[in-house]
Amino acid sequence: MISEKIDEQSLRRWIENSLSRSGTFVRRPLSGGNANLSLLLGSDDGDLVLRTPPADSISPNSQRGIEREARVMSALAGHMKVPQVLAWCDAAEVIGRPFLLVEHIDGVAITDELPEAYADPVDSVNQLGLHLTDELATLHGIEPAEVGLADLGNANDFLSRNIDRWQKIRSQQSVRELPLLDELADWLRNHIPQVSRAAIVHGDFHLDNTLCRTSGPELAAVIDWELSTLGDPLTDLGLFLMFWGPRRADPPAFQQVQAVTRIRGIVTRRALAERWSERTQLAIDQLDFYLCFAFWRLASIVEGAWILQRQGKVDTAYSRGLEYDVPALLLEARDAANGDW
């Protein structure tokens, strides 16, 4: 159990001194999130959530992700639905690594099953789709400087830098032939749109990275902000739509992600894109590119886990599934480049 790696006495003392909350204890790990760990904590004053990098992969990057999450959610408080940041601790001696404390949101991360209270599945999923689209548009309408995030990242050449970076990584680390990786990288590089303006981007925005009310289809909070930066807002839209609704590959890669959206009658990707465009006043005529970019970039990133699987360094259901998932993502990237999404 993850709680065995945390000095609960030390954590309890720190929280009592910093937040004046007494009786803190670890209730249980929370599911979700591949990069960082979440623990539900109880206390005499109610529940809260601890976010921290994994104990076995401490690095400056992992710490910076959690620190970034704390900064961004603090800046966005009052502007959109994010958990309230209670404290950030960079003193590793408390529990052995830095950690973030946020309020506990009464909600559920939905992926392949809806809460029992959601009476009409189609209507419920459609409402959630509209809520997420509107919240994403709200994020992209926030002026970074007005919330103190003008220095969150380098928005210049955001797309080309990502394409170059992941193509280089995959060319240096390879265990199988994936010709579409390079073919699509070249296509993307030759079709980079003119970015109208930089915005705060979440970096991993989709239904699974939100919390929804259990009583009815309502967005409660957007979570997992460790990849947020300044960049092209259409990259967020493309990633969100990538997982939404019917998929061209059969079965789709990562078929469990947003699986509840793949039932007859669900609002289409194009309808959600048009709604986002109306609210942001940003054009969506280049969405073929952004859908292709989303599928291609994810394939390039997760191929790294398949390499570890082939090298015998990991062996999980997730890593084994990448034998199929990565080629399927690339096929969907090719279809998106051709406008078939």
- Tens of pLDDT along 77-129? 999 999 999 999 998 889 988 999 999 999 999 999 999 999 999 999 999 99
How many distinct structural domains can be found in the chain?
Answer: 3
Q: How does DSSP assign 109-148, residue by residue?
A: --SS---TT---HHHHHHHHHHHHHHHHHHHHTS-GGGGT
In angstroms, what CA-CA distances link 127 with 14, 216, 292?
A: 41, 10, 26
Together in a domain, 181 and 312: yes
Together in a domain, 173 and 294: yes
pLDDT at 274: 98
Token pair belonging to 40: 């539900």
Q: For residue 51, what pLDDT band results from cuts at 50, 70 and 90?
A: very high
Together in a domain, 293 and 309: yes
Mean pLDDT of 130-141: 98
Q: For residue 5, what pLDDT band results from cuts at 50, 70 and 90?
A: low
pLDDT at 262: 93
d(CA 57, CA 300) in angstroms, rounded, equals 21
Do 233 and 91 meet the contact criterion of CB atoms below 8 Å apart? no
Together in a domain, 187 and 67: no
Together in a domain, 248 and 304: no
Together in a domain, 205 and 125: yes
Together in a domain, 268 and 322: no
- CATH number assigned to the domain comprising residue 132: 3.90.1200.10
Mean pLDDT of the chain: 93
Q: pLDDT digits over 279-303, tens only?
A: 999 999 999 999 999 999 999 999 9
Q: pLDDT digits over 191-202, tens only?
A: 999 988 899 999
Q: How does DSSP assign 260-327, residue by residue?
A: GG-STTPPPHHHHHHHHHHHHT---TTHHHHHHHHHHHHHHHHHHHHHHHHTTS---HHHHHHHHHHH
pLDDT at 3 over 60: no
pLDDT at 188 over 80: yes
Together in a domain, 315 and 169: yes
Together in a domain, 143 and 241: yes
Domain that holds residue 207: 105-155+201-227+234-285
- CATH number assigned to the domain comprising residue 38: 3.30.200.20
Q: pLDDT digits over 306-321, tens only?
A: 999 999 999 999 999 9
pLDDT at 73 over 50: yes
Q: Is the pTM of this model over 0.75?
A: yes
Together in a domain, 328 and 250: no
